[in-house]
Structure 1
Amino acid sequence: MASTKWYVHPVIATGVVINVFILGLAIAWHNDSAALWRLLVEDGIVEWMQFLCFALLAGLLGFLTVEQWQREPKVNLQLLAFAGLTALVGLAALEEVSWFQRVLHIVPPEFFAQNNRQGETNLHNLALGKSSLHKAVLLKVIAIVGLTHNVILPLLARKRPAVRTFVEKFGLYLPPVSASLIYIVLVALSHVLVDHPRKGELGELFGAMHYLVTVVAAYFFGVNYGKKPVFGESRDSRNLSTLFCMILVFILLCGWMLSAGAGAGAYIASHPGFGAE
């Protein structure tokens, strides 16, 4: 079911709409400092949505790992890819909320208190010279890998189908070009149109949502994917895609509620300069 149209599947379309909605909120609230901070601050709406996207994606990749083992009970590239991505995305989810440090009111260990630029229990904000590991290394790696996976390889695959076959041999997939371009445009617009020290959080959410929906569309429904998906073309498949669209909207609602429950407003009030990183 190879296709480059982002709207070829409702799951991808819903993810795009949610990302556009979040960017619209950030632009609409540009004159409301408190509302914009509520959207972008630590434990705010955007950060909790990132966590929920990564957590759900890790769970789905874990499901795919088990499903692959049941299909072929042997260690192969597909199994290793699913297992490795499960661990990587799960780590990203926990890092996003500092391993629940603030939610559980845990005092960070001395190492992190001294070496983390925000005094948090996470790896990505560890000091690296005058910057952090996130800014000095991870952002550059993410940009290179993201552009290669979302633009360069999919464009090459349109002319050379063997590129897609090669990528899928390693257990990976290529997202539809149109969906990827929309994701990149939204990231660019967030940097141009939003004036806030934490506007980079928007791009991170757009990426989390983009990968969540394109992974589901590829591996579960066969969108832009040459191998056999978990669900084939059937009425049940269409119903499941509708249910997943509802889950995506629920992620937005949960992010909103969690930001209030985690005390984002109180956090802003007690840390007026917080979040410059």
Structure 2
Amino acid sequence: MLEKKWYIHPVIAVGVFINVFVLVLAIAFAHDQAALWRLLVEDGIVEWMQFLCFVFLSGLLAFLAVEQWQREPKINLQLLAFVGLSALVGLAAMEEVSWFQRVLHIIPPEFFLQNNRQGETNLHNLALGKSSLHKAVLLKIIAVVGITHNVILPLLAKKRPAIRDFVEKFGLYLPPLSASLIYIAVVALSHLLVDHPRKGELGEVFGAVHYLVTVVAAYFFGVNYGKPPVFQNNADGRRISTLFCMMLMFLLLIGWMLSAGAGAGAYIASHPGFGAE
């Protein structure tokens, strides 16, 4: 089903819409620091959206692992990829909200109070010299892997289809190049047009949405993917993709509501002068 184009499939199109919407929102809030902080603050709209996307993606990858085992009950590269990625994305989701430390009002263990640059119960903000593990190491790895997976390999695969076959042998996929270029563009624009100390959160939520929709499009509907997808019947695929698009919009709404109830509202209330300058 490689002939399918991303822009005629609603799943990826809705993901692109959400990312562009969040970018426009951030740019529109450029002169309203209170609104911009509500968007980007810890436990704000953007951070909860990341968490929801990662949790959803982790669950879907676990579902794919079960489907793979039912199709072929043996340990192979495809099964290991689904299980490993599900665990990795689930870890990222919990790290994003510091394992619910702030939501449940849990005091971090002494180790994290002494070694975490933000005093949070997570690994990615552990001190590493004058920086953190996230900034010193993880962001660089994410950048290299992201450019390779979204741009370099898809470009090479257009001329050499064997590259796509090689990637898919390991249970992985290549996102559609057009969708990837839009993803890279909104990340770049967020860095150029948004002036805020936490603007990097925008790039992270763009990545969470991008990978959620391209994983679903590839493995579930066969978009830009050479192996049989979960839904091979066009009628079933159309119905499920419509429901999934509705779920994406619902995740955005829930992220907005969670930010008001669990994090951003409380932060702003306790920091009345945070955006005065």
Q: What range describes the TM-score normalised by the shorter chain of this pair?
A: over 0.9
Partner in structure 2 of residue 69 of structure 1: 69
Partner in structure 2 of residue 215 of structure 1: 215
1:237, distance to aligned residue in structure 2 (A): 1.1
Identity among equivalent positions (%) equals: 83
- Matched residue of 2:224: which SS? coil
Q: Deviation digits for residues 11-63 of structure 1, max 9, x if unmatched? A: 00000000000001000011111100000000000000000000000000000
Counterpart residue identity of residue 242, structure 1: T
Partner in structure 2 of residue 201 of structure 1: 201
- Would the alpha carbon gap of residues 133 and 271 (structure 1) be closer, same or farther in structure 2, given more than 3 Å must change? farther
RMSD: 1.3
Counterpart residue identity of residue 83, structure 1: V
Partner in structure 2 of residue 96 of structure 1: 96
Using structure 2 for the length normalisation, give the TM-score: 0.97
Structure 1's unaligned 5+ residue stretches are none
- Matched residue of 1:103: which SS? coil
Counterpart residue identity of residue 268, structure 2: I
Q: For 1:91 and 1:48, locate their aligned partners in 2 and report how far apart those are by CA, in whole Å.
A: 15
Q: Is the CA contact (8 Å cut-off) linking 1:65 and 1:79 kept in structure 2?
A: yes
Q: Deviation digits for residues 60-101 of structure 1, max 9, x if unmatched? A: 000001110111110000000000000000000000000000
1:169 aligns with 2:169: yes
Partner in structure 1 of residue 138 of structure 2: 138
1:225 aligns with 2:225: yes
- Matched residue of 2:31: which SS? coil
Partner in structure 2 of residue 157 of structure 1: 157
Trace 1:35-114 onto structure 2 (pairs within 5 A): 35-114=35-114
Q: Deviation digits for residues 196-238 of structure 1, max 9, x if unmatched? A: 0000000000000000000000000000000000001421210
Counterpart residue identity of residue 177, structure 2: V
1:2, distance to aligned residue in structure 2 (A): 1.5
Counterpart residue identity of residue 29, structure 1: F
Counterpart residue identity of residue 172, structure 1: L
Partner in structure 1 of residue 246 of structure 2: 246
Using structure 1 for the length normalisation, give the TM-score: 0.97
Q: Is the CA contact (8 Å cut-off) linking 1:11 and 1:244 kept in structure 2?
A: yes
- Stretches of 4+ aligned residues off by more than 4 angstroms: 271-274
Q: Is the CA contact (8 Å cut-off) linking 2:20 and 2:186 kept in structure 1?
A: yes
Partner in structure 2 of residue 189 of structure 1: 189
Partner in structure 1 of residue 34 of structure 2: 34
Partner in structure 2 of residue 18 of structure 1: 18
Count of residue correspondences: 274
